[in-house]
DNA sequence: AAAATAGTGTCTTTAAGACAATATAAA
DNA sequence: TTTATATTGTCTTAAAGACACTATTTT
């Protein structure tokens, strides 16, 4: 078998699904492509793997280059790759998606390469208001489903919050990401009784109105047993 | 940025973690390498992706070439890839693992390419009795953990069994894969009451001794809710 | 006081898990 | 009859879920 790699060299790309909860909605970090193909369309941040570079290192580097974010502060989870031969018109590009869940950050773009990086509402993107380049919508959908599943049996929801947060804020993360209301009382009991999920700081925070809530920070536990199952509670305030 | 891919071309390989329950133990399909590097050592079946080939198609092709098995009959699940720059002494090779759970098959090797394919006990391999090439032991361990987790909330255990099977055989799959005994009565109730997991054939099968068991085949359900949780029952026959 | 949100009490239901009891076969 | 495995019964406990109720703040 002859070595004809030069005919159509295979390249490996990393793509980043960076999601957060902002302004009461689930949002994803997108860049605007300023090169062909798909010029002007939205895309997940990402880029090609360098020779002798580990995929995860490439993900951290690309995120910094394109958005100014420091991914070493977050947990990046590698998801199954996308490798259809014709998924990229530029040639044979296999994409490795990385998922990160981050708190509401002040501004995604610092003094960065592609300064067109910005948060966009996931519901708007999936409703077709913002068309994504390549198969990035498909990759995004898979990443979202993964994140939703992760909320069930990991403590990753706390990664959506800042350093300290109230139980109501944490519940809001679940509600926004899952798109379903949860019973406030039952949720409160669940997270406080799950060893190591959240630890009280002793302080309180006054919200706009109502009784001020106790503040917590993320605990050492990373897995939730028993899990916090989706599609459970239907009760809301209305 | 210059295009210097030819310096060290990146290749994508697929590796297959094919596991089964045979002779009362969990076994994995391994080949013996007859080329350098790692000549004579065990390895997961696999090989390089061809240009314009989808990764999953490559997995099916390599499995057939190396072991004679037809992977289109099984469900192949893609796992996170391994891409450290120095994981393969031949060059820059990124490996995509695929996991498949199969019933006890008559003989893995037909008239195949590498006729050295054979089932080996997972416990023996992990005990170091059989050293694996590359980082295949690490890949195997990740695949096994994935399979164990899948037993919890999917019906994949039935894929370890033949066309028809008894509840006891299904339970044995769980016990062998998880390495823990389960309570026969509780297990029986759980799987029969989970809608769509197994459907009775109406027949019975006489085992070596004892009351003959009813036969079932796999049902349409693919997910288990509520899940069948590991580390649950400690009770066994002794 | 009224409104709003935080957090607790309590009841019901579901399911897990332990383990006894029964059923049906072979030796 | 003994032994072995299958299957059902029953009780206990853990946890989810519904929802009423109390607590503490702002307006």
Give pLDDT tens digits for A95-112.
Answer: 999 999 999 986 655 555
pLDDT at B209: 86
Instruction: Indicate whether B1 pLDDT > 50.
Output: no
Instruction: Indicate whether A116 pLDDT > 80.
Output: no
pLDDT at A231: 67
- Residue A210 CA, nucleotide D27 C1', distance (Å): 10
pLDDT at B6: 47
What is the residue-wise DSSP string for B63-117? HHHHH---GGGS--EE---B--TTS-TTSEEEEEEEEEE----S-S-SS-SSTT-
C-beta atoms of B6 and A6 within 8 A: yes
Instruction: Indicate whether A235 pLDDT > 60.
Output: no
Instruction: Indicate whether A13 pLDDT > 80.
Output: yes
Instruction: Indicate whether A238 pLDDT > 70.
Output: no
Give pLDDT tens digits for B182-193.
Answer: 999 999 999 999
Instruction: Indicate whether A232 pLDDT > 50.
Output: no
Give chain A's radius of gyration (CA, Å). 20
* Distance from the B209 Cα atom to the nearest Cα atom in chain A, whole angstroms: 39
- A181/B contact by beta carbon, under 8 A: no
Answer whether B182's CB lies under 8 Å from B174's CB.
yes
pLDDT at B68: 87
Which residues of B are less than 8 Å from A135 in CB distance? none
Instruction: Indicate whether B108 pLDDT > 80.
Output: no
Q: Could you give the CA distance from residue B196 to residue B136 in angstroms, rounded to a whole number? A: 36
Phi, then psi, of A15 in degrees rounded to 5:
-130, 140
- Percent of chain B surpassing pLDDT 90: 82
pLDDT at B155: 98
User: Which nucleotides of chain D does any protein CB come within 7 A of?
Assistant: 3-9, 15-21, 23-27
Answer whether B45's CB lies under 8 Å from B15's CB.
yes
Q: Which of B7, B79, B80 lies nearest to residue A51, judging by beta carbons?
A: B7
Hunting for tokens 């001794």 — which residue is that? Answer: B209
Give pLDDT tens digits for A151-186.
Answer: 999 999 999 999 999 999 999 999 999 999 999 999
DSSP helix/strand/coil, B217: strand
pLDDT at B112: 53
Q: Which of A51, A78, A85 lies nearest to residue B54, judging by beta carbons?
A: A85
Q: Which of A6, A52, A94 lies nearest to residue B12, judging by beta carbons?
A: A94
Higher pLDDT, B114 or B82: B82
- Cis amide leading into A37 (omega within 30): yes
| Closest to B14 in 3D by CA, of B52, B59, B54 | B59
Instruction: Indicate whether A234 pLDDT > 90.
Output: no
Give pLDDT tens digits for B16-69.
Answer: 999 999 999 999 999 999 888 999 999 999 999 999 999 999 999 999 998 888
Higher pLDDT, B144 or A108: B144
**Residue A7: band (very low, low, confident or very high) from pLDDT cuts 50, 70, 90:** low
Instruction: Indicate whether B124 pLDDT > 90.
Output: yes
**Residue B109: band (very low, low, confident or very high) from pLDDT cuts 50, 70, 90:** low
Answer whether B67's CB lies under 8 Å from B31's CB.
yes
Long-range contacts of A175-178 (CB under 8 A, 24+ apart): A176/A21, A176/A24, A176/A25, A176/A26, A177/A21, A177/A26, A177/A147, A177/A148, A177/A151, A178/A148, A178/A151, A178/A230
Instruction: Classify strands A92-101 and A10-22 as parallel, antiparallel or unpaired.
Output: parallel
C-beta atoms of A51 and B96 within 8 A: no
pLDDT at A148: 98
Q: What H or E segment, with its residue span, contains residue A168?
A: helix A167-178
SS3 content of chain B, % helix, strand, coil (to 5): 30, 25, 45
* Distance from the B60 Cα atom to the nearest Cα atom in chain A, whole angstroms: 15
Q: Could you give the CA distance from residue B35 to residue A27 in angstroms, rounded to a whole number? A: 50
Instruction: Indicate whether A75 pLDDT > 90.
Output: yes
Give pLDDT tens digits for A122-142.
Answer: 999 999 999 999 999 999 999
Find and give the residue nearest to C14, measured CA to C1'. B226
Angle at A180 between CA A175 and CA A182, to 5 degrees: 70
* Distance from the B93 Cα atom to the nearest Cα atom in chain A, whole angstroms: 10
Give pLDDT tens digits for A16-62.
Answer: 999 999 999 999 999 999 888 999 999 999 999 999 999 999 999 99
- A149/B contact by beta carbon, under 8 A: no
Instruction: Residue B150: count other Cβ atoms within 10 Å of its Cβ.
Output: 18
- Percent of chain B surpassing pLDDT 70: 89
Which residues of B are less than 8 Å from A85 in CB distance? 51-54
Q: Could you give the CA distance from residue A62 to residue A67 in angstroms, rounded to a whole number? A: 8
pTM above 0.75, yes or no: yes
Sheet holding B198-205, edge to edge: B164-166, B213-218, B198-205
B171: nearest nucleotide, CA–C1' criterion: D6
């Amino acid at each position: 078998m002859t070595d004809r790699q030069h005919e159509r060299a295979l390249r490996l790309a990393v793509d980043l699904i960076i999601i957060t909860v902002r302004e009461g909605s689930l949002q994803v970090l997108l860049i605007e492509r300023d090169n062909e193909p798909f010029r002007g369309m939205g895309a997940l941040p990402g880029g090609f793997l360098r020779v002798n570079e580990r995929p995860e290192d490439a993900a951290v580097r690309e995120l910094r280059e394109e958005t100014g974010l420091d991914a070493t502060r977050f947990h990046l989870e590698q998801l199954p790759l996308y490798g259809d031969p014709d998924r990229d018109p530029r040639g044979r590009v296999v994409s490795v998606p990385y998922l990160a869940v981050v708190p509401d950050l002040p501004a995604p773009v610092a003094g960065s390469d592609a300064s067109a990086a910005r948060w966009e509402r996931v519901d708007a993107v999936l409703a077709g208001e913002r068309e994504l380049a390549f198969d990035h919508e498909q990759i995004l959908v898979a990443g979202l489903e993964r994140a939703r599943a992760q909320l069930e049996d990991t403590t990753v929801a706390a990664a959506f919050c800042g350093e300290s947060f109230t139980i109501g804020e944490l519940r809001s993360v679940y509600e926004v990401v899952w798109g379903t209301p949860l019973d406030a009382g039952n949720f409160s009991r669940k997270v406080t009784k799950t060893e190591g999920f959240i630890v009280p700081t002793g302080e309180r925070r006054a919200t706009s109105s109502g009784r001020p809530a106790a503040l917590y920070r993320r605990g050492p536990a990373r897995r939730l047993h028993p899990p916090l199952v989706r599609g459970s509670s239907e009760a809301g305030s209305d």
